[in-house]
Amino acid sequence: MTPATKQRAFSTRDLLLAILSGLLLTASFPPGKFSFLAWIALIPLFISLRDKRPRSAFKLGFIGGFFHYLTLLYWVIVVLGRYGNLHMAISLLALLLLSLFLALYPGLFSALASQMVGTRFSFFFMAALWVSLEFLRAHLFTGFPWCLLGYTQYERLAVIQIADLTGVYGISFLIVLVNGLIFQSFFMKNRSLHTFLKWEWLFVALLVTGTIFYGFQKLAQKKAGKQSDPHLNAAVIQADIDQSVKWKPSYQRKTLETYFRLSSLAAPLKPALIVWPETALPFFYQDAPAFSSQMRHFADRIGATLVFGSPAYERKNRRIEYYNRAYMITPGISSAGYYDKRHLVPFGEYVPLKKYLPFLNQLVQAAGNFVSGGRQGPLMKKDLSLGVLICFEAIFPELARDLARDGAQVLVNITNDAWFGATSAPYQHLSMAVFRSVETGLPMIRAANTGFSAFIGPSGKILSRSALFEEAVLDQSVPFSPSPPATLYTRMGDLFAGALLLISLLKLFYLFRMRVKRKGS
């Protein structure tokens, strides 16, 4: 936008365009098959931002973002209402507050991007700004990187291979770049910029072509490695235990019998590893000698290592601390290895500021108020190293990266997505887990109580997966590297996102200085 351009408030048309962008963004995420919409979803918002002051642009982005998150995260009502036992009004209020908070990010993006629209290579700086805000959302206030824009492409394997260089942020950057270029080419009236479009098209064409070429090269390499690498025969057990009954003491024995029965079905396949979901045992394994003896005997009998979830506790300084724990039982070894969840779910596994929010305490009645387990290494199974991620830890790249750097050869994600009910959340959760394999170059074994359980290859390809809300036994021969692959992303982390954040800050500083100069002249 040039200094001489007249700036105006937004109209009803602008408002509808912003809302349309929000809805298109939601439609591009699973469970729908409309991931292609992500590549054009922001164009209506960009159109609405033309000739707008930052305040008006913020409002448009905020409103579009609010409709996006409201329709994307509607399942929060199910989690809090049906399973958290909160009144529907409180559940709806929580969804509204969360959506309003997250809408601040597209609002801020729009306010800042409105000062870039129409300038040379504006789409590059807008894409950098978008990624910068995604990066901040992933880390501020414990972080909530749920459904970042790049996750829409989880099934486009050739596109997402660059995640082993840039993380998911590289795909987000590319998507916003394409949106911005299309907008600038077909919806901008500034003729003086058209002479630069050929260079901008060339720039984006080279990036897109390079990304796809790199993707096919990596897919070919991983396919060749799959044939030569050793394999792990593994099985995943999905017992489909109803969340409303699983914590009842009278149901404990039936739960264990269900897992034994389904695991026995996998025994003829000779799995070396059997994985049960998060809190598969709805009691304290450490305090149930009869059950724990049965578990060890079962592992010895079928000759397979068992990985399963169970709550745990430790007494420290005259108080009891609870953990969301994954145990590993290895045949012939009496002691069990374990991993305690590091990144807990706010208002699900602990209540921030619970002194001031006592009405939310009922959300954690099931197994107490958990504490973080802190950084731990992978679980060792003879010569195989298993990196465990519990539940939504799979949406945090840094956790999988830590495990890969510590020597993990296979990622194991145990989760209990029963909380989500029959909503889009299980689909969204699985799509994000795919990227942890691409980023680290490690396969993933995923066990979910009600689905989706899955095997994911190092390329991010979903090798097999269960259906929702039914019992399932999945088995797969999983290739793994004898020495863990050290991808650039594993070694360097979010260097790409950090660089874009720096570029965005420098660009905004430049725009601020130019604005001050114009006012002073």
Q: Which residues are catalytic?
A: 278, 341, 391
Strands (E), 189-252: 231-238
How far apart are alpha carbons 31 and 28 in whole angstroms? Answer: 9
As given in the structure block, the two tokens for residue 161 are: 């291979």
Do residues 128 and 504 lie in contact, with contact meaning Cβ atoms separated by under 8 Å? yes
Backbone angles phi, psi at 311, to 5 degrees: -65, 155
Which among 99, 11, 102, 23 is positioned nearest to 49, based on CA atoms? 11
**Half-sphere CA count of 98, side-chain side, radius 13 A:** 22
How far apart are alpha carbons 124 and 18 in whole angstroms? Answer: 21
Burial of residue 449, with CB atoms counted within 10 A of its CB: 0-12 exposed, 13-18 middle, 19 or more buried: buried
Do residues 473 and 266 lie in contact, with contact meaning Cβ atoms separated by under 8 Å? yes
Which among 18, 45, 105, 103 is positioned nearest to 69, based on CA atoms? 103
Contacts of 117-122 with CB under 8 Å at 24 or more apart are 117/1, 117/46, 117/49, 117/50, 117/188, 118/1, 118/2, 118/5, 118/50, 118/184, 118/188, 118/190, 118/193, 119/1, 120/193, 120/196, 121/196, 121/200, 121/203, 122/180, 122/184
How far apart are alpha carbons 389 and 335 in whole angstroms? Answer: 21
Residue 409 per-residue DSSP state: S
How far apart are alpha carbons 23 and 69 in whole angstroms? Answer: 9
How far apart are alpha carbons 122 and 181 in whole angstroms? Answer: 9
Name every residue whose Cβ is closer than 8 Å to that of residue 206 and which is 6 or more positions away in sequence: none
Number of CB atoms found within 10 A of residue 318's CB: 5
**Half-sphere CA count of 84, side-chain side, radius 13 A:** 26
Q: Render 325-393 in DSSP notation, one character per residue.
A: EEEEE-TT-SS-EEEE-SS--BTTTB-TTTTT-GGGGGGGTTT--B-------PEEETTEEEEEEEGGG
